[in-house]
Amino acid sequence: GITSLLANGVYAAAYPLHDGDYEGENVEFNDRKLLYEEWACYGVFYKYQPIDLVRKYFGEKIGLYFAWLGVYTQMLIPASIVGIIVFLYGCATVDENIPSMEMCDQRQNITMCPLCDKTCSYWKMSSACATARASHLFDNPATVFFSVFMALWGKQGLSGKNTGDDPRFIAEYEARVLEKSLKKESKNKETDKVKLTWRDRFPAYLTNLVSIIFMIAVTFAIVLGVIIYRISMAAALAMNSSPSVRSNIRVTVTATAVIINLVVIILLDEVYGCIARWLTQIEVPKTEKSFEERLIFKAFLLKFVNSYTPIFYVAFFKGRFVGRPGDYVYIFRSFRMEECAPGGCLMELCIQLSIIMLGKQLIQNNLFEIGIPKMKKLIRYLKLKRQSPPDHEECVKRKQRYEVDYNLEPFAGLTPEYMEMIIQFGFVTLFVASFPLAPLFALLNNIIEIRLDAKKFVTELRRPVAVRAKDIGIWYNILRGIGKLAVIINAFVISFTSDFIPRLVYLYMYSKNGTMHGFVNHTLSSFNVSDFQNGTAPNDPLDLGYEVQICRYKDYREPPWSENKYDISKDFWAVLAARLAFVIVFQNLVMFMSDFVDWVIPDIPKDISQQIHKEKVLMVELFMREEQDKQQLLETWMEKERQKDEPPCNHHNPKACPDSLSSPAPSHAYHGGIL
Amino acid sequence: GITSLLANGVYAAAYPLHDGDYEGENVEFNDRKLLYEEWACYGVFYKYQPIDLVRKYFGEKIGLYFAWLGVYTQMLIPASIVGIIVFLYGCATVDENIPSMEMCDQRQNITMCPLCDKTCSYWKMSSACATARASHLFDNPATVFFSVFMALWGKQGLSGKNTGDDPRFIAEYEARVLEKSLKKESKNKETDKVKLTWRDRFPAYLTNLVSIIFMIAVTFAIVLGVIIYRISMAAALAMNSSPSVRSNIRVTVTATAVIINLVVIILLDEVYGCIARWLTQIEVPKTEKSFEERLIFKAFLLKFVNSYTPIFYVAFFKGRFVGRPGDYVYIFRSFRMEECAPGGCLMELCIQLSIIMLGKQLIQNNLFEIGIPKMKKLIRYLKLKRQSPPDHEECVKRKQRYEVDYNLEPFAGLTPEYMEMIIQFGFVTLFVASFPLAPLFALLNNIIEIRLDAKKFVTELRRPVAVRAKDIGIWYNILRGIGKLAVIINAFVISFTSDFIPRLVYLYMYSKNGTMHGFVNHTLSSFNVSDFQNGTAPNDPLDLGYEVQICRYKDYREPPWSENKYDISKDFWAVLAARLAFVIVFQNLVMFMSDFVDWVIPDIPKDISQQIHKEKVLMVELFMREEQDKQQLLETWMEKERQKDEPPCNHHNPKACPDSLSSPAPSHAYHGGIL
């Protein structure tokens, strides 16, 4: 077939032609032009997409992608609105928040323990006032409600089911099978039922497994590297003599580290995409569908790990295994595990998340989807100019359609487009508890994304071969998986990363007057500075102007005057139990509500399912009637013939001819539709 | 229609006739006889059921029930085998179990606090030796594995999907609509689109809601009543002077209470069934399907609450809110909350579960499914005998088929049969962690149940109207719901009812030499007998022969010599956190494994789905070819006619007649099947 001819290099490329030019003065009206004007420009962003036309021009699979993208974008609107409301609620209540008021209160005058060995000094609680106020924006009771809402949103909105397609075989598979059958033939002449068995595939599978594990390990190593960079950078900067440098340590370190993370993620994304493709090729899958699914699975796994590892680290690990003053935990013997900023880890998670999400979207959209294609075009244009002297310009203009289209980029599949959206869906749902504005940013991105993709398909790509598709395939399963994961991750973010549970526990178990007054004091443990181990005490402890005897740190531990000093206290276990109980309640509540919503709102709305049922019945009736008519006509006709022994239909009597019988095509058409 | 005629009493009954007699000497061969011999007797219990014949004789819906019952019973076989292995593992390791060895050790000589006020005395730890050994049978690490296994088993095995059926309207609904339309007509003459709206149904819905809440409250009240019975009975017996009565208090009380529970459950089951039917009737649902679904939903809810409330109480509430010695919790000011037996609550749960499950099955099978029908038959037979003198016997023999069948019980729907199985499925999956032999008992019951039901359908019921069905309908959803519930309930049973988690916590956090030695001592708190409140100290504390100063009780509380004596201790919170963590891990592990199994094993096996695809393609091809042939024949024929102007088919030339055209029925038949 054409596949092998292409593979052998007989043809350079095979592609359907575009309808014509999409712009220019003397271009006659065509579908491409219509799409360009009504779909592929930013001016129409508020309109529905002309999905039928897209489907007609590009085929079902691409039509389905844009339809899905449209639905997803539309679904982001309510999520964004609720997110904005939650954020505004946070802004409105920030001045009434007792814990942050207490932290900002200069009179409290709480001396905190140093956050690192030697170079760090004691610090005042009130200096963390700004971050405490900022973290209230994302860490308030409305966030819990929003998480439940988004978990339901993520589990509900995306329906569509996987069904079988016609298998389209891949040239490489056929080649391998042929090769194998030839080998076998030379052995025992049995050529029937040649398949690639498990044994043939084993080396490829092994390579796959090893490579994937290796690449996940690389990702982890890079994240660990960035952590070490942060720790050592902070230590180096702290030894700097300039006070302006020292006061901005945290900002400098965090900003540079996140940017490094971002760059690494974007670069590795491209690398992993190529590796996943290579790994799938050596697997030699049987059909194109299977190829695509395997590729998507691998690429998704790698990109997911790549994108989310730093975020997982900040959400669940950072600042949790630091030990306590006087007995800190070290990695590689000299680097102390880093702690979260005084405002809490949630703030840091929010910053990390927003920078990676926004940065990824902006850079990928601008650089990879606008910049690089533009540059490629420019290079091609310059090459063309150099090759063909200006007097040949007329000839260029009279080029055939296939020559014009040959200069366009070949269509490389929808995987990158879907992948971008799925990773975005992950940002929107997985950690939404820490960043309620994520849906808004996703919405803004997608409004641009739709038109950007449309422009690319209309103007910059060769027309793709139309492919039939019933649904979005494996992506649906991945979306469902992310939806499920989102529930449990949000439960953990709320209960372990935010201060929601400790606050509740304080309110109901310890608070004397039923308010949050005294919460900040309750969450801090005391440390006697004389218990510092050798060489870990701060170098210039006199920064504050008075001698420190007891400093405070955020943890639930026994005070220095207790029997088992610095042991984990009862409060720690009580709060932990409450956190875990919350996870169980949250997860099961969301699951129950999701099932309930499923039960109340059927997959297919009632009127549509009734419509479908009616149409089916009508179609069957129509078919039956037609067949009956046909039958009757035939019978009466034959009857007549027998009785009259005379031609019932001829040139002299054309009215008697059963013309309708010559076109039974409609009934075929129905059945094609039904089957 | 016939429905209204029946409703008006014009006809007494309408039913299809049986094929003939199923036994007797001179009975000719018929399907009923075949079913009776090959299906409806206990001798063939090891054989597969002749499902095709059942379906042919009783219709799809009943066929589907027996098919489902068969599959479920078959699925119980592996579950029973694993359950037996787990039980045997418990038996084999009972002598190596260190905690029960320590409890039985006479040398330990631990004095326990009295289990009730005044009348109870101190007791020796070693006297609970037997129950401790017994509870190891159900409370060992293998049980955890078994729970995971059964959770997966419950979520997997049951597939089948809900799809739409043709609506069959109910006479009452039509009557109500007619009534309403008449009323409306008198008002504004608009008769089109008359529907029962929300407003018409509101009183019925309200009645439903109130009744259901009331009946659930009744169930709770009864369970509470039984608890009070137990407490007061125990107190009364404890004051008895006979030592033999006093030594058997626990056994007597538990046994009588469980029997009361069982009787109440069985009686209320019948009552609730009737109430659910009545409630559904006043709702006036539109179609028969909707009627059935609403009835099932209500009946299931009521029977579920009825059957499982006492078990839930034992599993999660009994012995948990008892307070501590010296500060016990009282209900109604005078009844102390009851505690679990010294062997732990799991043992009691197991006893409760096995008695209710076995008792319910035995009584329902024997009494309701064998006894009562037999009795009814007997009564009918006696009546008949009294009415017709013996000389008319010959006439009786020559009775018409419809007269014979009229004497049989009318078919009352499959709901009771399904309900019984679903409640059993609940016993098998929900609390399987505490009773690994449940699947075995269910299996034994079902082997009998299949043949019992078969016998009933063949010999004792009028032949039911055949009803089309694609699946088991709402039962599938209920089964899925139970499957989901089972995961979380088993997680809680293992972590909160069994001692699995405290043992693990002891092993990894407290044990000095990595063994379980000292575990029993660790779980007991100390109480100073001088802290007993007035009137709660035991009356004759000298039972043991020495004066007791410190007694022990099972809880994690601070010792009398601590600062906050009898406060909940750190260990309590640590164990609680571990328990909750286990629930999260268990639930998510099972969910993940279940999804993974779903992913690896597709719903429809690959070869079957390929087969279906092939059949579809073949059918389409066949249809196309046939239509083409028809078309061609017609065309050639017409061509001939035009050219020859001569009859192509007449009495003299019959071979030329396109006979095949007179039977297009086959193509219709295919399409009926496909649509």
List beta partners, residue B324: B327
R_g (Cα) of chain B, nearest Å = 33
Please judge whether A584 and B581 are an interchain contact, meaning their C-beta atoms are less than 8 angstroms apart: no
Q: Is residue B391 less than 8 Å (CB to CB) from chain A? A: no
Task: Name which of B221, B215, B223, B252 is nearest B235 in CA terms.
Answer: B252
**For chain B, how far is it from start to end, CA to CA, in angstroms?**
28
Evaluate whether A172 touches A490 at the Cβ level (below 8 Å): no
Ordered alpha helix ranges (H), A560-652: 570-600, 606-644
Residue A83's pLDDT is what? 92
What is the DSSP pairing of strand A327-328 with strand A330-331?
unpaired
Give contacts of B 572-611 with A, CB under 8 A: 573-574, 576-577, 580-581, 583-584, 587-588, 591, 595, 599, 609
Mean pLDDT confidence for B263-269: 88
Contact map slice: A 89-148 vs B, CB within 8 A: none
In 3D space, the residue among A276, A305, A308 whose CA is nearest the CA of residue A293 turns out to be: A276
When mean pLDDT is compared across A254-268, A447-461, A557-571, B170-184, the lowest value belongs to B170-184
Q: Is pLDDT larger for residue B675 or for residue A489?
A: A489
Nearest to B405 by CA among B35, B6, B17, B28: B17
Q: Given CB atoms, is B641 within the 8 Å cutoff of chain A?
A: yes
Contact partners, residue A601, CB within 8 Å, separation at least 6: A156
Band (A218; pLDDT cuts 50, 70, 90) = very high
Whether the Cβ atoms of residue B278 and residue B269 lie closer than 8 Å to each other: no
| Structural element, H or E, at residue B551 | strand B550-554
Exposed (0-12), middle (13-18) or buried (19+): which is A84, by Cβ within 10 Å?
middle
Q: Considering only residues B381 and B588, tell me which one the structure prediction assigns the higher pLDDT.
A: B588
pLDDT of B220 strictly over 60: yes
Give the closest-approach CA distance of A645 to chain B in angstroms. 6
Of A477, A577, A648, the CB nearest to B576: A577
Does pLDDT of A85 surpass 90? yes
| Region A375-403 average pLDDT | 67
DSSP B424: H
| pLDDT above 90: residue A537 | no
Which of A124-138, A393-407, B267-281 is predicted least confidently? A393-407
B347-363 average pLDDT score: 85
- CA of A134: how far to CAs of A162, A430, B162, B455, in Å? 44, 21, 50, 74
Give how far A83 is from chain B: nearest CA, Å.
28
CB contact under 8 A, B635 and A662: yes
Half-sphere exposure of B285 (CA within 13 A, CB side): 18
Nearest CA in chain B to A596: B481
Average pLDDT over all residues of chain B = 78
Q: Stretch A641-658: mean pLDDT, rounded?
A: 52
Residue A131 CA to residue B126 CA, distance in Å, equals 60
Rounded to two decimals, the ipTM of the complex is: 0.79
Question: What are the percentages of helix, strand and coil residues in chain B, rounded to 5?
Answer: 70, 5, 25
**Rg of chain A (C-alpha set):** 33
- Using CA atoms, how far residue B464 sits from A397, B57, B467, B475, in Å, is 80, 9, 9, 20
In this prediction, residue A675 carries a pLDDT of 31
Closest CA to A474 of A411, A418, A412, A413: A418
Q: By the CB < 8 Å criterion, does B167 face chain A?
A: no
Q: Tokens 């009356």 sit at which residue?
A: B539
User: How far is residue A534's CA from residue B154's CA, in Å, rounded to a whole number?
Assistant: 59
- The string of pLDDT tens digits covering residues A36-81 is 777 877 777 777 788 888 888 888 888 888 888 888 888 899 999 9
Query: What pLDDT is stored for residue B14 in this prediction?
Result: 77
Looking at residue B413, the DSSP 8-state letter turns out to be -
pLDDT at B206 over 80: yes
Q: Which residue from B588, B631, B668 is facing A627, i.e. has the nearest CB? A: B668
Q: How far is B219 from chain A (nearest CA, A)?
A: 24
Q: Give just the sign of the alpha carbon dihedral A580, A583, A586, A587.
A: negative
Angular region, A566: left φ>0, alpha ψ -120 to 50, beta rest: left
**pLDDT of res. A11:** 79
DSSP characters over B565-587: TTSBPHHHHHHHHHHHHHHHHHH
> A545: distance to nearest CA of chain B, Å?
38
Matching residue, tokens 């959209």: A365
DSSP per residue over B353-398, as a string?
Answer: HHHHHHHHHHHIIIIIIIIHHHHHHHHHHHHHHHHS-GGGHHHHHT
Q: Report how far apart, in Å, the C-alpha atoms of A288 and of each of A16, A163, A168, A413, B152 are.
A: 19, 15, 6, 12, 33
Q: Cβ distance A541 to A120 under 8 Å?
A: no
Section B38-44 average pLDDT: 76
pLDDT of residue B443: 92
Tell me what percent of the residues of chain B surpass a pLDDT of 70.
82
- Is some CB atom of chain B closer than 8 A to the CB atom of A624? yes
Q: Which of B660, B440, B650, B478 is nearest to A643 (CA)?
A: B650
Cα–Cα distance, A358 to B93 (Å, whole number): 59
Q: Do B650 and A642 touch (CB under 8 A)?
A: yes
Q: Please answer whether residues B670 and B617 qualify as being in contact, where contact means their C-beta atoms are separated by less than 8 angstroms.
A: no
pLDDT at B468: 76
How many Å lie between the alpha carbon of B627 and the closest alpha carbon of chain A?
8
Matching residue, tokens 């061509």? B639
Q: Which of residues 485-524 of A touch B (CB under 8 A)?
A: 488
With vertex at residue B256, the alpha carbon angle to CA B251 and CA B258, rounded to the nearest 5 degrees, is 95
Please list, residue by residue across A602-638, b when 16 or more beta carbons sit within 10 angstroms of its beta carbon and e when fewer do. eeeeeeeeeeeeeeeeebbeebeeebeebeeebeebb
Separation between Cα atoms, residue B306 and residue B216, nearest integer Å: 8
- Run of H or E residues at A100: helix A98-104
What does DSSP assign to residue A169?
Answer: B
Residue from A494, A650, A651, A652 to probe the interface with B (highest B Cβ count within 10 Å): A650
Q: Looking at the predicted structure, is the pLDDT value of residue B673 above 50?
A: no
In sequence order, which residues have a C-beta less than 8 Å from that of residue A134 and are 6 or more positions away? A343, A347
